[in-house]
A and B are shown apart, each in its own frame.
Chain A
Amino acid sequence: MSEKGNSLWSDAWRRLKKNRLAMICLGVVAFYTALAIYGEVVYRYYQAKDQTAFYQKTDLDQAYQSPSSKHWMGTDALGRDVTQRLIQGTRIAYKVGIITALIAIPIGVFFGCLAGYFGGRVDSFVVWLYSTVASMPGLLFILAIAMVVGKGLLGIYLGIGLTTWVGLCRLIRGEVIKHKEQAYVMAAKALGLSWPRILFRHILPNVFHVIIVTFTLRFPAAVSTEVFMSFLGIGVVSEPSWGVMINSARMRLWQGVWWEMTFVTLAIFGLVLAFNLLGDALRDALDPRLRTEGN
């Protein structure tokens, strides 16, 4: 990247560093990420050894233990350690957040770039496509896709991924339309560069911050949707997803087993809050024009 590009990112980083709340959130996100990676390693390890992982092993003698030094967050109805299951939940949440982004971002960027750059018929087609998808009733549409594809993680990935590219597509399209008229694009055109090169090598880096901010703000939304779907029994079934945990903890709550519910709730709350605040801070740092007063 050119010197100017570097300075944009370092500039943003400097601004972000000044924001104490954002740095705390970044720390929280890093912590969750570490947990998710640890969870994935554990999961892979037991998969490779073809054994039941320790977080799945039932021990009915240990059922409903309240938090202690042995089980920090207590145990659930089948005597499984809530802490370990929460970590596995983090792993699934991260998987969902990242894979849905990997589906939605390329679609949104691709269509947004083409529509913004070419205008005319291409633009009309893309606008038609995204306004159609945007008209579908959000959650129900996601659930319907998951129902058709089949229960499990694939349904969640496709359901969320195929419906959430619209916002990004709109933003990118708007940005590309703005950039298309600028001098550097004119210069690139005058040099006779091909359109993919202009679009993806010159314009795209300049609108990249939009993608980063959108990703940070979409991540918690995807996680919440996954929790919701797993809770309803349409998403993750046999793995300890947060939604599955809430579902099993909800009945026990009435009998005074508060820990599973509380800790899952706190875990989701922490992750979503950290990502939301970080996303806001990133937007302010990367694109000062979008900054709203008073923050």
Chain B
Amino acid sequence: MLRYIGKRILQMIPTVFGVILITFVLFNIVGGSPAQQVLGPHAQADTLESFDEQRGFNKPLFIGTRTTTRAYADSDFERSAGDWQQQNGAVWTNGTLILAAGGEYALPVKFALRTDCDYELEMEGRSAGFPMFGENQLKLSKDWKKISLRFQELEKIVPGNAPVEIRSIKLRRIMSNPFDSQFMFYLNRLAHLDFGVSHSTNQRVSKLLLDGIGPSLMLTVPVFFVGLITAVMLSLFCAFWRDTWVDRFFVVFSVALMSVNYLVWIVGGQYLLGFKLGWFPVWGFEDPRYLILPVLIGVFSGLGAELRFYRTIMLDEAHRDYVRTAQAKGVSRLGVLFKHVLKNAMIPIITNTVIAIPFLYTGSLLLESFFGIPGLGYLGINAINSSDVDVVRAIVLVGSIIFVIANLLTDICYALVDPRVKLK
């Protein structure tokens, strides 16, 4: 048994890694740095850079020694002179920037470069003379050539006695440790259970998660149990009356329930029961009375699918041999149903139940935002609306990991109940 559990835990690791990888790819690679979006279009480059520094967005993605810096945007002089427009003596013509002889030209950086690391200047250009970059020589020749130059302190470009023609310039920051990447930064923070800071509320994400989980559970746990019990009872009812109009009615009824859009349940319930009839408070989270309506709506919206699922299970069991044996022995129909069928159906029911546990955690996105319950669903929707990446990522990640763990627990429960599972 222990060996089996150990094996399953080992199998869990790749999945957890996969989940971390997916969230990383989604938010860091596809999404990119949210700095501009968060700080607005008029934010200064150094503010953006420090935002990135805090969140690790100014590092290479997985591995690498070069990274871009916001101090100098890559300039390709194909279309325009870019940041060099204001420079005296620099002339842009036809896709080339010409630095006239005899002058001194500073790279138009947006903020002072860091002193704790090296930079690299990549340049495509040509010159007939001996241009210098501070003490260093820019090794350009008469023909177009790409050169790169590593330096510690920003110097001026001095073309000397012949003009320098440039097609493109890039500035890269050099990482002393190639593994000091965004991915490592992410893993490292996760290892410390640090989910970052929500930029819209400026609170730690871990605190937001802890605050939100209580209200979420208060909503979803009753929904879960009431729904489960109702669905199992109704499915037994169907099994008892199988092949009659009662059963057929419930089949159609469950599909109909499934087809009503979730939004409609909420809007309709809130309007009819909360507003028109005034039975329940419409919005808020003050005492348990506020939870009744959302719980009711939650149960109803999920009932169709659950009833259908459990009915199939019950009917599967009801056609087994042991049922016939029990009937032959003279056990009453109700006795067969509750003592035999229900007991055997418990295994798939439990599986389904454990699998549903992670969904308790995210709560119900819509129910929470509609009824003003300050849970994780509410938090998640707000975070998505305000592009609060750290919060969304944390909720997605924690949800997935809970799911993986719930899966593990299901398998262990299975193995405990049914020894054949271990052999597979």
Contacts and interface: CB of A to CB of B under 8 A. Distances in A.
Contacts of B243: 293-294
Q: Is the interface of B mostly helix, strand, loop or mixed?
A: helix
A273 interface: yes
Given A128-B15, A136-B22, A144-B392, A243 B263 contact: yes
A273 B259 contact: yes
A131 B11 CA distance: 11
Contacts of B256: 273
- Interface footprint category on A: 35 or more
A295 B251 contact: yes
A147 B384 contact: yes
Interface in B210-266: 242-243, 247-248, 251, 255-256, 258-264
Interface in A202-237: 220, 224, 227-228, 231-234
Contacts of A233: 385
Nearest to A251: B267
B270 to A, nearest CB: 9
B163 interface: no
Contacts of B319: 293
A233 B381 CA distance: 10
Contacts of A149: 30
A277 B258 CA distance: 11
A23 to B, nearest CB: 16
Nearest to A139: B365
A227 B261 CA distance: 9
Interface in A263-285: 265, 268-269, 272-273, 276-277, 280
A81 B384 CA distance: 32
A268 B260 CA distance: 8
Contact of B242 (A232, A253, A293): A293
A141 B263 contact: no
Given A246-B267, A268-B264, A277-B255, A137 B396 contact: yes
Contact of B255 (A129, A135, A227, A280): A280
B31 A148 contact: yes
B384 A144 contact: yes
Contacts of B263: 227-228, 231, 243, 246
Nearest to A133: B22
B404 interface: yes
Nearest to A138: B359
Contact of B403 (A137, A232, A272): A137
Interface in A99-140: 128-129, 131-133, 135-140
A147 B399 contact: no
Contacts of B358: 137
A131 B15 contact: yes
A148 B242 CA distance: 49
Contacts of B381: 143, 232
For B31, B243, B319, B407, which residue has the most chain A Cβ atoms within 10 angstroms?
B31
B69 interface: no
Given A148-B31, A231-B263, A136 B392 contact: no
Nearest to A147: B384
For B14, B259, B359, which residue has the most chain A Cβ atoms within 10 angstroms?
B259
A129 B22 CA distance: 10
28 contacts: A132-B15, A135-B18, A135-B19, A136-B19, A136-B22, A136-B400, A136-B403, A137-B362, A140-B395, A141-B396, A143-B381, A144-B26, A144-B392, A145-B26, A147-B384, A148-B26, A149-B30, A227-B263, A228-B263, A228-B366, A234-B385, A246-B261, A246-B267, A261-B267, A272-B259, A276-B258, A293-B242, A294-B315
| Pairs A-B, 3 closest by C-beta atoms | A132-B18, A137-B399, A273-B259
